[in-house]
Structure 1
């Protein structure tokens, strides 16, 4: 174990709740009549040659050495830093040493200038706080702190006197060599000609309210502030707090980019200051820099509006703001860069709401899977290869791209699988069985041209459909149906039973009820049961024919499918379709019943297998006899 530097101080102080290391050094230095820089050297906070106390001390403090010399426990020393919040406030983790790729700066970690509540600095009336002042809260360093819920005032920024400061304040304690000041006095140098930043300290008392007539935060602001501060408390789940702060960051960028659309959500006292902040960022004309407001009142207005939008149960209004802030393609949306940079730590709800607005129809990598955009709702196996007619009519048909209805239904199915699995589009199409040639799946050129202007509406409709699927209580497992019917076709016996039930056809011309029609009838039933298209149905009957016969059959497919599917079908085809649909209902019922039986058997047998340590019995493959083998055509003789 490394030797601890220095010896413990003769006297110390108990840290106050929520106090920062800078505030603690100020109070303890005041008690010991030392300068803060001298105390920092004695306690091992900095090297002896260091002349400044920077804000990095909130992240890099050697808590073991400091606890030893300041006569504190290591837990008390660590509580003076931001480190305990690293799993709750993502910018802290990104800037801590050893936390991954180093980030030199994050505008959401530190305020440009100190914020504080004068009444908190004045103390609570106890003897120790009357002597050395109240705590400089470490939360005040974060841009998400803009009001004091206890005293119901906006946090003040910097000093009421004017000081010449041409950049963000990076010091934890200004003028740390000055040993004469109270912890609640301003330590900026007085502005004097020729003295620059090295004049005497200002000394203005910061523990006094500047004006009783100044604006006070509304109850909405105070509730929003308390909610954000609660994220930093240990009783809140760390993962939920981290996603909450990330959501706030993304929504703030959306509000800035969509201005003035969200002006009504901003508190009246903050609107002008928020507008000034947005203009400084460039509004919607240049990419939004990911930066919170410097002024506490502006921060209060903007962040309270963001909290209000996040509280909407379906986030539709937020999506409207994001859509309004995105006049061109997703790659040019000014807020998208913020979302894409931080989406891995967003909440599932925000990620699912915003991801459709940022999706482009391009391959993003070498068929590599990504984190699914939707988790905990529908699964890929619940999606048919050809979007259900009802889903299409309710969600996508109103977009009036009927000329490309078939392509739309295929693309929607692929994207729904992609959202739930993280697969590339080509792999999602392979999963659905509609990409037999392999490679990257793409929509038709006509649909892609339509999407250049209608992509927002398409994504919004697909998002609504996905939410409906998430709410489904008993979804159909289309993938199981596809697996079970992979080797299936209507047997000769079943086909003969069907055609004997057809009504007689008047006239001398009789339809030919041969193996070609049996093949197309099998494709029709397969498509009906699996929610697919006859084009992608297994064609085992056709595969057994000579090459010239297969070519002749292929030329007649479309005509047969047309007669079977047309609403005003001829009597013969209408009767055949009815019988085929009955056969399809029987198949679907048997497959789904077998699936339910398998689930029951697993739930019943698994505890027994575990109790007696019997190895798991492998489940027979879908094509094995005994599953639904009685549904398949028996092997042909010869």
Structure 2
């Protein structure tokens, strides 16, 4: 057959149906063997690679052009797509991240195994006519580092070849020795042990049958390990939502790193048959320095031990206490050098709420949250960050914080309390929590005022206790307000001119010859007032789209006058005109709240 750069020629005259769970690599091996072609020549013929390509990389599992492949191999598009990893992209985060990157993007350690894993009995086939001649499937599951055992045959997956091979690199090819057309799909395609180096990719292959190997004394997974593997595989299927699957796999990754950081503490969670392999893996992560924690083991037995322990840790009723206990095991290291906190920070956004809340105190043990190194109170669970307003609700403040007598620092206290509550729920650093609330517009390190910091020197314990009590109240709330949704909806909002005109026409007449100013400057400050009323924020941080459209000198003039307008609108005993305007603006704010809660669209400005 003539080579073809793209699948524009005629479909193959003979093809094969994919086996259940088969990988693209396994399918190409079986089909090439049937057609008496080398895998690389077949791949060129059907347009999987260009004519100049000599390597079939694992990246093909992400980049397969399924329409053309299906046409050339006489498969349906669904059958072709099932050979790739893309159908799991919404469930397994490393696949989604890899799809967003270019071919030359940074490596994702939890995407592919360094060496191929396999189950010999699966490769031997089930004896059916389809599998007698070409063997059973090389499964696409085996590419993922989270798969370490075969539940059907109750064995650990093997990796590599039983023969020793002198390799300069790990094997990340989908198929090795792509030019060899003589090998059965179940034979080892690594270069022969005695192959001359000058032969390159065209030299002889090892040729050991991987489906006919039996080893005396080989370790076998116990029931706990097999149960953990089955649980992991279930999250790749339709029995769980994609969101839950993403959280589950991220949790395992984070907890695996945590276990390696505190090893050998936690060894009782590892099945006895895997403890030695886990110990060897932890040692290889950095000669005991544990600076490369976010890496899966190469060995399937070690993988089984770590992921089984991670599943047991995740399901523990006292997860928070266990994480605290493990944290103490490594607290003799410098906080900035604890690599597990970096792993958690990198993946926190996709962790489950369970792990985020349990890990927050452990992570905070290594984070400074202010210029004086104050520590955050422990998270008690329940409420979420979107339930926190940027300016603490007046009732919350009065009931929990006013008794502490902050000596005129009320605004600063309400801001800092909101930031700390976000930190408790998410584990964010202080500046990141302030950014989330929108009260750190200049970036940098958010901090309290000097007055409040001075008070906190002596009142930190009382402040921490008050926040703890408030957090417990928020945990018990049955229908909490989603302030983050309100902030997002009103991000680009200001009072439309038509709405503003309707409001001011309802104002009572002002006696005397002097008429109050109701121009666009006041409309801007009225917009800020309504925004603060709806979001429970401060006018200082409201969007200022009307002002932004003005010339520079006008903006400067408006800025100099805004404080007086805010004062007139908010003071308890306002003049009749401002009291009436405030009432109308609050009515409009209540209408906006109702629309936001119901999901009704509304004019922006």
SS in 2 for 1:444: helix
Match of 1:491 in 2: none
TM-score normalised to the size of structure 1? 0.63
User: How big is each residue's C-alpha offset from its partner over 1:509-542, in whole Å with a ceiling of 9 and x where there is no partner?
Assistant: xxxxxxxxxxxxxxxxxxxxxxxxxxxxxx9899
Contact 1:385 1:410 in 2 (8 A): no
Q: Which of 292, 299, 314 pairs up with 1:295?
A: 299
Do the aligned residues in 2 keep the contact of 1:53 with 1:173 (CA within 8 Å)? yes
Aligned to 2:397: 385
2:218 aligned to which of 194, 197, 214: 214
Matches within 5 A, 1:26-65: 26-65=29-68
SS of the residue 1:91 aligns to: helix
Equivalent-residue separation in structure 2 for 1:115 and 1:91 (angstroms): 18
Distance in 1 separating the partners of 2:142 and 2:255: 21
The more displaced of 282-291 and 293-302 is 282-291
Contact 2:383 2:475 in 1 (8 A): no
Q: Tell whether 2:281 aligns with 1:277.
A: yes
Instruction: Structure 1: give runs of 5+ residues left out of the alignment.
Output: 364-371, 393-406, 432-438, 478-538, 544-597, 617-638
Q: Partners in 1 of 2:469 and 2:210 — Cα distance?
A: 52
Q: Which moved more, 1:348-357 or 1:115-124?
A: 348-357
Aligned partner (choices 448, 462, 467) of residue 441 of structure 1: 448
Q: Paired residue for 1:360?
A: 368
Aligned-partner Cα distance in 2 for 1:59–1:77: 12
Alpha-carbon distance, 1:4 to partner? 4.6
Please give the alpha-carbon distance, in whole angstroms, between the structure 2 residues aligned to 1:265 and 1:197.
48
The structural deviation recorded for 1:321 is 2.1
- With over 3 angstroms needed to count, the CA separation of the structure-2 counterparts of 1:283 and 1:200, relative to structure 1, is closer
Aligned match of 1:318 in 320, 323, 338?
A: 323
**Stretch moving more, 106-115 or 239-248:** 239-248
Please name the residue that 1:345 is paired with: 350
Specify whether residues 464 and 235 from structure 1 end up closer, same or farther in structure 2 by C-alpha distance, changes over 3 A only.
farther
Pair 1:464–1:194, CA change in 2 (3 A):
farther
**Is residue 58–residue 173 contact of structure 2 (8 Å, CA) maintained in 1?**
yes
Taking a change above 3 Å as real, the CA distance of residues 4 and 181 of structure 1, as seen in their structure-2 partners, is closer
For residues 34 and 69 of structure 2, the distance between their equivalents in structure 1, rounded to whole angstroms, comes to 17
Q: CA–CA distance in 1 between the matches of 2:104 and 2:260?
A: 27
Q: Which residue of 2 aligns with 1:141?
A: 143
CA distance in 1, matches of 2:93, 2:288: 26
Confirm or deny: 8 A CA contact 2:91 2:236 kept in the other structure. yes
Note closer, same or farther for the CA distance 1:408–1:161 as it changes in structure 2 (3 Å cut).
Answer: farther
1:225 aligns to what?
A: 229
Q: Is the CA contact (8 Å cut-off) linking 2:7 and 2:45 kept in structure 1?
A: no
The alpha-carbon deviation at position 143 of structure 1 amounts to 0.6
Residue 264 of structure 1 pairs with residue 247 of structure 2? no
Q: CA deviation at 1:74?
A: 1.4
| 1:72 equivalenced with 2:75 (yes/no) | yes
Q: 2:384 aligns with which of 375, 379, 383?
A: 375
Matched, 1:8 2:11: yes
* Aligned position for 1:90: 93
474 and 195 in structure 1: CA distance in 2 versus 1, 3 angstrom threshold: closer
What SS does the corresponding residue of 2:397 show, helix, strand or coil? coil
Per-residue CA deviations over 1:486-529 (Å, capped at 9, x if unaligned) read xxxxxxxxxxxxxxxxxxxxxxxxxxxxxxxxxxxxxxxxxxxx
Larger radius of gyration: 1
Distance 2:191 2:455 in 1: 67
What residue is the counterpart of 1:253 in the other structure? 257
1:415 pairs, out of 415, 420, 425, with 420
1:355 aligned counterpart, secondary structure: helix
Q: Which residue of 2 aligns with 1:184?
A: 186
Q: Equivalent residue for 2:247?
A: 243
Q: Give 1:121 deviation, angstroms.
A: 0.5
Q: What secondary structure sits across from 1:172 in the alignment?
A: strand
Deviation of 1:101 after TM superposition, in Å, equals: 11
Structure 2 counterpart of 1:167: 169
- 1: CA distance between counterparts of 2:32 and 2:93? 32
CA contact (8 A) 2:257 2:294 kept: yes
After alignment, is 309-318 or 181-190 more displaced?
309-318
Gaps of 5+ in 2: 372-380, 405-411, 440-445, 483-569, 575-589
Of the three residues 313, 316, 331, the one matched with 2:336 is: 331
Q: What does residue 107 of structure 2 align with?
A: 105
Q: Distance in 2 between matches of 1:283 and 1:17?
A: 41
Structure 1 residue 284, shift from structure 2 partner: 6.3
The two structures, once aligned, show a CA RMSD in angstroms of: 4.5
Describe the shift of the 1:54–1:377 C-alpha distance in structure 2 as closer, same or farther (beyond 3 A).
closer
Give SS of 1:227's match. Answer: helix
Contact map agreement 1:292 1:299 (CA 8 A) in 2: yes
